[in-house]
Structure 1
Amino acid sequence: MLTITRTIRIPDEELDFAYIRSSGPGGQNVNKVSSKAVLTWQFAQSAALTGAVRSRFETRYARRITREGCVVISSQKYREQSRNAEECRAKLKAMIEAIVAAPVERRVTEKTHGSHRRRLEEKRNRSAHKQGRRKLHPE
């Protein structure tokens, strides 16, 4: 059971792990051992997420979701299968924790006096700079 919050828990039955060979250097060990872990979670059919959390997850991580509605996470950071599997679970947990809290609506505020003054000063400086580019007409 992957526990994200008190209310969000993903059963282990929903998490499918596959183990394949890692890429990169490593000598004979990398050619013999399937240590890379690939986690597949069908979040579209999962009852663990509420509607609002599911929609935020879909919008934020749309690039990670397959056509079938699966999230695929992989890890080959470690040499052991179990540590890579735990890394995948930690990545999924971090992804869900990032979208659990609803985003705070920004309150519209007025421009500060200082920012208004700085903007006008910058406009004056830019105008003077451009005025200096004009040709001088001797009288």
Structure 2
Amino acid sequence: MSTDYPALSGLPEAALDIRFIRASGPGGQNVNKVASAVQLRCDLRAWPQLPDRVRTRLRTLAGRRLTDDDVIVLTAQRFRTQEHNKRDAFERLAEMVAQARIEPKIRRATKPTRASKERRLEGKQQRSRVKNSRGKVRSFD
């Protein structure tokens, strides 16, 4: 299944664990009987081909879905069938990995140009003139 998603290329099957669990929420008798929700666990330590920079960004993106053992846990229960939920979990994992593969742009500090400083100060002066042209508010006691 992971081969269907380019972002998950190189992910060994041993790094994935798929469990079917009962979904929470509304659904009547069906939700109490059928294990249609999917819990996808991806062990980052079992994915040696993943570059360290990507692994670090993936840990940040995973947030509280990351366990202390470096395992990302995704639970998919939006759909009524196991197959749809399984596909949803893999798509979410692939999207997360694709986002982690994007190198963040390094911000280089720049100084404002002389013209932009002058424009900013002119705008402040103009606003000041508008406010000063307003009369004082007198109270009628």
Amino acid at match of 1:96: V
The answer to whether structure 1 residue 10 and structure 2 residue 6 are counterparts is no
Conserved in 1, the CA contact under 8 Å of 2:8 and 2:94? no
Matches of 1:110 and 1:17 in 2, distance apart? 52
1:2 maps to a residue whose letter is S
Whole-Å separation in 2 of the counterparts to 1:7 and 1:90 = 10
Preserved CA contact (<8 Å) 1:8 1:48 = no
How many residues matched?
Answer: 136
The whole-number CA distance in structure 1 between the counterparts of 2:7 and 2:74 is 23
Correspondence 1:12-31 to 2 at 5 A: 12-31=13-32
Deviation digits for residues 29-68 of structure 1, max 9, x if unmatched?
Answer: 1111010101111113421311121122123333321112
If each structure's helix is expressed as a fraction of its own residues, which one has the higher value? 2
Name the residue aligned to 1:123: 124
Q: Cα RMSD (Å) of the superposition?
A: 3.0
Work out whether residues 36 and 81 of structure 1, in 8 Å CA contact, stay in contact via their aligned partners in 2.
Answer: yes
Q: Matches of 1:102 and 1:8 in 2, distance apart? A: 18
- 8 A Cα contact 2:41 2:71, kept in partner: yes
Q: Which runs of 5+ in 2 are unaligned?
A: none
CA 1:133 to 1:70, structure 2 compared with 1: closer, same or farther past 3 Å?
Answer: farther
Gaps of 5+ in 1: none
Q: Tell me the alpha carbon deviations over residues 95-139 of structure 1, each in whole angstroms, 9 at most, x when there is no partner.
A: 00011131222455554677445422331134332685779xxxx
Output the TM-score relative to the length of structure 2.
Answer: 0.77
Q: CA contact under 8 A between 1:2 and 1:9: conserved in structure 2?
A: no
Report if aligned partners of 2:22, 2:36 keep a CA contact under 8 Å in 1.
Answer: yes
What amino acid is the match of 2:18?
Answer: F
